[in-house]
Amino acid sequence: MNRDQFLALLWLRWRLTVNAMRRHGELSLIISMIFLCFGALLAVAGAMCGVLVGALWLATAAPVAHLITWDIVAGLFLLFWILGLVSQLQRAEILDLRQLLHYPVSLRSAFLLNYASSLCVPSVIFCLPCMLGLALGLSLGGGFRFLLLFPLVLGFLFSVSAWTYCLQGWLAVLMENPRRRRNVIMTVTLVMILLFQLPNLLGSVSSRRASSALSMRDTSSGASVTTVLQVHAAIPVCWLPYGARMLAAGNVWPAAGGALGLWLLGGWGLCHAYRGTLRHYRGEGAGRTVDKTPMPVATSCAPAGVSLVEWEIPLVPDDAAAMAMASLRSMLRAPEVRMTLGTNVAGMLILGMANLLHHNTAAIPVLAKPFIACGMVAVSFFGVGTLMTNQFGYDRDGFRMLVLLPTPRWRILLGRNLSLAAVAGVIFLIFLSLGGLLIHLGPVEVLLALLSFVSMFLIYGTLGNLSSVLAPFRIPAGAVQARKVKGLTTLLLMFFSLVSLAVGGLIFVPPLMGWLCASAGRLVSALVTLACAAALTGGTLAVYWTSLKPLGRLLQARERQILDVVTREKE
């Protein structure tokens, strides 16, 4: 690739980026340019602050201060880098290698250009000037030996970006199948959330042993420092802080060896990524072998068993039961729905377990346990609530089949609600089981939680049916957020969210009434609590059942508007 080709491809990438922003409107383009200019000024300011901090303070600080400072800087860079990686997985390369190979450009040149373009991300633009400025300040204030920080910082960036690009290439091959692409995005996002929440959980578990550890702090401080240094020396991403610490101590060889190791490690990752790309375009991947095994001859045409759609639900009409099973099957197959539910459930589980492990569960008052049980019910609907308020947004073109069905529309709503009840019920049982093990819920609290779950579901079902009919919006395939939502729809969704929170708070009335009657005895308090919960369940059931047929007629009247909204981008 010569100089003119390189500049032309850089201009093409810039032009495609601007066009992608312009498709969202001129206002979006202006806002993006303002943020870009602000980011450039922020990068320059960060570089100047790094020079001042390095020259005036860090150059004369203790070696442990160098280790901590560079740990923080490298950790922030890795955090922003991982967040950017997750967002980049949801869109393809701006410059596709398949398109570039139609031009007189070699595969190696196109590969290197795509790798260079992968460095034009906010995490590099903002963090790299700060790290280089800090290295420059240390060189000015601490001596020439700190000049080794420059190849160390660049080697750190090169190794991280090279292996990340290798990972992106491997994931790109996996995500050629659209369904597999959505599964990969869901899995990576869920793993990142779990990784970010894992330190919180581990810190809460270890806090229980803090008192015994404090008594041994003086005797084990030396061993702890040695262990920390050994960990930094063993993990490649920690070689930058380790090399900076050793430079502050006067030893230049670990920094020089770390810089050389990071550059070699990055080169290995980039070569591995290029070989994988070459094998992919030559058709030499392991997954491309042709299976020559003859297909087995069918010996019987009898079905293996009853399909999920054919299941029957007691006391529910057959067409509503079929709709419930079909909707449940559709949700289990949709990666975006699984990602929405998985991220909410995983986050709530980790945060809840961390808080419960951080506190002494044996000291929880008996009168507080009913409130905790109702809180578990409310938390169970955090992820499902977004699905209930937009029941047709994930259907997209599949909503045409609902329009053509001769089924009464109130039965369609009933089937949709029952499918969401199954999902919410599984999440609720997980929370209830963990809560029962950790805080030892009694039979009264468990029965209260079950009644509160039914009441909360009926409340969300009624309001969700109304919201789904009046304020539908399309969820694109592979995404968890809507695009181009109208202002009126946004206001209606905000209104329904506030109303759902206010009305959903009624499940805390039964434990409140029991708490007010606590002076009359524990048995009376339990009876009052359960009686109020049963009355609330009966009232919400009556409201839900009464609203089904009017909302079904409203759905039938607005079918064309909903169809236009949920299929608009496709058409």
**Mind listing the pLDDT tens digit for each residue in 205-247?**
554 444 444 444 444 455 567 788 888 888 888 899 999 999 9
Higher local confidence (pLDDT), 41 or 305: 41
What the block records as the tokens of 490 is: 């946004």
Confidence of residue 540 (pLDDT cuts 50, 70, 90): very high
**Mind listing the pLDDT tens digit for each residue in 95-125?**
556 666 666 777 777 777 778 777 877 788 8
Low-confidence winner among 204-218, 303-317, 331-345, 550-564 (lowest mean pLDDT): 204-218
Please enumerate in sequence order all residues whose Cβ is within 8 A of that of 158, keeping only pairs 6 or more positions apart, or say none.
Answer: 262, 263, 266, 267
What's CA 108's distance to the chain center, in Å?
34
Please name the amino acid found at residue 474: R
Q: For 57, which DSSP code?
A: T
Higher local confidence (pLDDT), 440 or 238: 238
Write down the pLDDT at residue 535. 94
Low-confidence winner among 13-27, 292-306, 307-321, 446-460 (lowest mean pLDDT): 292-306
Query: Is 423 in a helix, a strand, or coil?
Result: helix
Q: Tell me what the mean pLDDT of segment 164-178 comes to.
A: 70
Please enumerate in sequence order all residues whose Cβ is within 8 A of that of 111, keeping only pairs 6 or more positions apart, or say none.
Answer: 97, 273, 274, 277
Helix ranges (DSSP H) in 89-148: 97-100, 107-118, 122-142
**Average pLDDT over the chain, rounded to whole?**
77
Q: Tell me what the mean pLDDT of segment 129-134 comes to.
A: 90
What the block records as the tokens of 26 is: 């001129």
Q: For 103, which DSSP code?
A: S
Contact 309, 329 (CB under 8 A): yes
Query: Is 405 in a helix, a strand, or coil?
Result: coil
pLDDT beyond 70 at 173? no
Residue among 453, 281, 430, 285 at smallest CA distance from 345 = 430
Write down the pLDDT at residue 154. 92
Cα–Cα distance for residue pair 281/285, rounded to 1 Å: 9
Write down the pLDDT at residue 124. 85
Write down the pLDDT at residue 156. 93
Low-confidence winner among 64-68, 296-300, 359-363 (lowest mean pLDDT): 296-300
Write down the pLDDT at residue 24. 59
CB atoms within 10 A of CB 161: 21
Helix ranges (DSSP H) in 143-177: 149-174
Q: Tell me what the mean pLDDT of segment 369-374 comes to.
A: 86
Angle between the 522-557 and 509-516 helix axes, to the nearest 10 degrees? 160
What is the dihedral sign for C-alpha 468, 473, 478, 479? negative
**Mind listing the pLDDT tens digit for each residue in 26-83?**
666 677 778 778 777 888 888 898 899 888 888 888 888 999 999 899 888 888 887 7
pTM: 0.57
Alpha-carbon distances, residue 97 vs 93, 115, 371, 467, 544 (angstroms)? 8, 11, 57, 44, 55
Write down the pLDDT at residue 504. 84
Alpha-carbon distances, residue 532 vs 60, 256, 456, 513, 525 (angstroms)? 68, 72, 14, 8, 11
Cα–Cα distance for residue pair 204/208, rounded to 1 Å: 7
Please name the amino acid found at residue 353: M
pLDDT beyond 90 at 542? yes
Angle between the 3-22 and 107-118 helix axes, to the nearest 10 degrees? 50
Low-confidence winner among 464-468, 516-520, 528-532, 540-544 (lowest mean pLDDT): 516-520
Most confident by average pLDDT, 186-200, 221-235, 528-542: 528-542
Write down the pLDDT at residue 202. 53
**Mind listing the pLDDT tens digit for each residue in 68-95?**
999 899 888 888 887 777 666 554 444 5
Cα–Cα distance for residue pair 124/336, rounded to 1 Å: 29
Write down the pLDDT at residue 536. 92
Write down the pLDDT at residue 218. 43
Q: For 413, which DSSP code?
A: H
